Amino acid sequence: MKFIDTHAHLYDEAFDQEEDLAIARASEAGVTRIIFPDIDSLTRDRMFAFADRHDGTIFPCLGLHPTSVNADWEKELALLEGYLSRKIYAIGEIGMDCYWSKEFVKEQQEALRIQLEMADRLDLPVIIHSRESTELIINVLKDCRHLNLRGVFHAYSGSKETFSEISRLGDWYIGIGGVLTYKKASIAETVKEIPLDRILLETDSPYLTPIPFRGKRNESSYIPHIASRLAELTGKDVEEIASVTTDNAEKLFRI
């Protein structure tokens, strides 16, 4: 079986001096390709350097994470233009986050809008980060319904009804990760009602580690544990989970 981790931050300092080992472990687990979402200018060069070392395995993206939107957000956003000569596979990780702070909500909305327009102009998918901000993001999507939007809602935690609503505003997938394995996780019920051809597998490493490794650093090699739980919940074979979610990722990111 072959898997794709559609959301991992293996360039994070949590993997300092162990990045290449994490890639090797992922490969041994059948995770042959990994999507790297961007955060901001502090880690961007490290991300691209890592991707260059593992061309064909790592697929880098470009974007300004909502928690990095602050008083200097316009300067940060302008820096993205200097990387457009690089091969990138999505605009992301972008979106809104009202969990950590609501100080720059309007700026987050504007940064999201600008980056959605960039994705449309470049004909790229987007990776959406949404935390305690679903309605705000939906409002931006409604304002941008004239754009050719497609992408994934990363770490999806919403309902079937919310998925139906966003599906009317673009071609959307949902990213499912380690939270699926947690006791009483609401997403465990939601995935039973969403077609498999709309689901992507992800780790969000080094965060959101699945059981049985919860409490430790997450990494891409744990994708099979998420796939197994998804198979259990949906009554499908894990081979089908691997095949369909891999096909979904190939189609969305054109890899």
**Per-residue pLDDT for the chain (255 aa), expressed as one digit of tens each?**
999 999 999 999 999 999 999 999 999 999 999 999 999 999 999 999 999 999 999 999 999 999 999 999 999 999 999 999 999 999 999 999 999 888 999 999 999 999 999 999 999 999 999 999 999 999 999 999 999 999 999 999 999 999 999 999 999 999 999 999 999 999 999 999 999 999 999 999 999 999 999 999 999 999 999 999 999 999 999 999 999 999 999 999 999
Please choose, from the candidates 72, 160, 151, the residue with its C-alpha nearest in 3D space to the C-alpha of residue 111.
Answer: 72
pLDDT of residue 100: 84
> What is the per-residue pLDDT for 199?
98
Output the pLDDT for position 108.
98
- Where does 163-249 show beta strands of DSSP type E? 171-176, 199-201
CB 239 within 8 A of CB 21: no
Phi-psi region of 156 (alpha: psi -120 to 50; beta: other; left: phi over 0): beta
Q: How many Å apart are CA 228 and CA 253, to the nearest integer?
A: 23
**Which pTM was predicted?**
0.97
Per the DSSP assignment, residues forming a β-bridge with 94 are 128
Q: 10 Å Cβ neighbour count for 227?
A: 25
Task: Give me the residue spans of the domains in the chain.
Answer: 3-11+38-220+240-253
DSSP string, 59-127: EE-B---GGG-STTHHHHHHHGGGGTTS--S-EEEEEEE-SS--TTHHHHHHHHHHHHHHHHHHT--EE
Q: What 3-state DSSP class applies to 25? A: helix
| 3-11+38-220+240-253, CATH topology level | TIM Barrel (3.20.20)
Using CA atoms, how far apart are residues 173 and 126, in angstroms rounded to an integer? 10
Provide CB contacts within 8 A for 192, sequence distance 6+: 233, 234
Residue 254 and residue 33: Cα distance in Å, rounded?
12
The predicted structure's pLDDT at residue 46 = 96
Centroid of chain to Cα 181: 18
Burial class (CB in 10 A: 0-12, 13-18, 19+), 129: buried
Contacts of 233 (CB under 8 A, 6+ apart): 180, 188, 191, 192
pLDDT for 237 equals 97
Tally of CA atoms within 13 A in the half-sphere of 23 that contains its CB: 21
Type of residue found at 17: Q
